[in-house]
């Protein structure tokens, strides 16, 4: 997973949140790059250098070039120890270096830079930084540059996030379940449709990555075999089943609107001794005794 994230170069965004922090993955990617022999420059803004280097062994620490912007980023102490020209100067100095070979520039964090620099300036600088390998016209070896930026999702609005997304070749978004972390990786290759995959992983204490197959399966809750099954049909106050006699009586019942031949005969031939029925009507004072149909004069 780590190789594929760094393979295409360009800008790689590592998006984390308060609940799923991304600095451990950033350090794991840095360790992997150092072990592959690549140069790594780190611009540290959010944690101290000691805390960042904590967990790496001496061989890896000696290979890291650390630019410390944590102790005095805004030059408040005025002792001259701060990086001159601040954050923007430090970034621009990185693409003026002339060493050959592939290089990884890790920004811890891109969120800090985005809060302190105008978005357009930062995007232009990142673009220049990550596109370095295409601009060399002479015969110098192609320098593959990969800029790895840690971005805290909740701190920025959709505008800056969208701008950085459009610049990025790869985006890794961290989330997970209660016990495991997942990385949703989105690859944007030129002239190809974006692809994405989800990788479950955990980071070991020495910052190597342990890849896992999938989310841990939740164990199905088994029904407890000890509880006796109670028959709910006992002691009911109503019948659930019919006896044979009741069934016969029910089947032989004729329904009121079912027209059988016997019923037809009974209706057509009035039975003996049955008087024809009369309707007795007492008109009210308001009733109109006129039997004429008011619609007769309509010429239909």
Partner 1 sequence: MFPELNNLLNTTPDRVEQGKLTLLCDAKTDGSFLVHHFLSFYLKANCKVCFVALIQSFSHYNIVGQKLGVSLTTARERGQLMFLEGLKSSVDVFFRAEEKPHPLQFLREANAGNLQPLYEFVREALQPMDKGEAAWRCPVLLVDDVSVLLSLGVGAVAVLDFIHYCRAAVCCELQGNMVVLAHDSGDAEDEENDILLNGLSHQSHLILRAEGLATGFCRDVHGQLRVLWRRPPQPTAQRDRSLIYQYKIQDKSVSFFARGLSPAVL
- CA torsion 113-119-121-126 (nearest 10°) is 60
Contact flag: residue 116 with partner 1 (CB under 8 A): yes
Alpha carbons within 13 A on the beta-carbon side of 71 = 14
Asked whether 38 and 196 are in contact (CB, 8 A), the reply is no
3-state secondary structure of 52: helix
How many residues bind partner 1 (CB under 8 A)? The answer is: 29
Q: Give 55 or 165: the residue with its C-beta nearer to partner 1.
A: 55
Instruction: Out of 58, 137, 140, 154, name the contact with partner 1 by CB under 8 A.
Output: 154
Q: Which of positions 53-72 make contact with partner 1 (CB under 8 A)?
A: 54-55, 70-72
**Start-to-end C-alpha separation, the chain:** 88
Torsional sign, CA 28, 30, 31, 36: positive
Instruction: Verify binding: residue 144, partner 1, rule CB under 8 A.
Output: no
**Interacting residue with partner 1 among 5, 6, 11, 24 (CB under 8 A):** 24
- Residues 171-210 touching partner 1, rule: CB under 8 A, are 202-205, 207
Chosen residue from 152, 168, 171, 188 binding partner 1 by CB under 8 A: 152
Token pair in block for residue 284: 């009210």
CB-wise, 74 or 211, nearer to partner 1?
Answer: 74
Among 74, 198, 211, 242, binds partner 1 (CB under 8 A): 74
Phi-psi sector, 292: left (phi>0), alpha (psi -120 to 50), beta: beta
- Secondary structure element (H or E) that encloses residue 166, with its range: helix 158-167
Asked if 231 is part of the footprint of partner 1 (rule: CB under 8 A), the reply reads no
31 contacts partner 1 (rule: CB under 8 A): no
Nearest distance in Å: CB 32, partner 1? 15
Residue 73 lies near partner 1 (rule: CB under 8 A): yes
**Rounded CA separation 25/2 (Å):** 9
What is the contact surface with partner 1 in residues (CB under 8 A)? 18-19, 21, 23-24, 46, 48, 50-51, 54-55, 70-74, 76, 111, 115-116, 152, 154-155, 157, 202-205, 207
């Amino acid at each position: 997973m780590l190789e594929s994230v760094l393979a295409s170069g360009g800008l790689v965004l590592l998006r984390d949140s308060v609940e799923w922090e991304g600095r451990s993955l950033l350090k794991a990617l840095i360790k992997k790059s150092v072990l592959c022999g690549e140069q790594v420059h780190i611009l540290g803004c959010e944690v101290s250098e000691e805390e960042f280097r904590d967990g790496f062994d001496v061989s890896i620490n000696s290979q890291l070039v650390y630019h410390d912007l944590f102790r005095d980023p805004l030059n408040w102490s005025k002792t001259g120890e701060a990086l001159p020209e601040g954050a923007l100067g430090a970034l621009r100095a990185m693409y003026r270096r002339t060493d050959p070979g592939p290089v990884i520039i890790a920004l811890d964090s891109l969120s800090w830079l985005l809060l302190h620099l105008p978005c357009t300036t930062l995007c232009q600088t990142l673009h220049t930084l990550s596109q370095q390998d295409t601009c060399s016209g002479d015969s110098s070896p192609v320098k593959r540059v990969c800029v790895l930026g840690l971005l805290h999702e909740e701190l920025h609005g959709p505008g800056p996030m969208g701008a950085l997304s459009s610049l990025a070749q790869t985006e890794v978004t961290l989330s997970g379940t209660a016990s495991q972390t997942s990385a949703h990786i989105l690859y944007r290759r030129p002239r190809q449709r974006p692809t994405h995959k989800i990788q479950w992983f955990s980071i070991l204490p020495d910052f190597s990555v342990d890849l896992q197959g999938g989310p841990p399966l939740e164990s199905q809750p088994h029904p407890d075999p000890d509880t006796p099954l109670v028959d709910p049909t006992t002691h009911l106050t109503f019948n659930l089943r019919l006896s044979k006699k009741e069934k016969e009586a029910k089947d032989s019942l004729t329904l009121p609107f079912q027209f059988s031949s016997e019923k037809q005969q009974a209706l057509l031939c009035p039975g003996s001794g049955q008087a024809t029925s009369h309707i007795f009507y007492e008109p009210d004072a308001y009733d109109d005794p006129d039997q004429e149909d008011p619609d007769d004069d309509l010429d239909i």
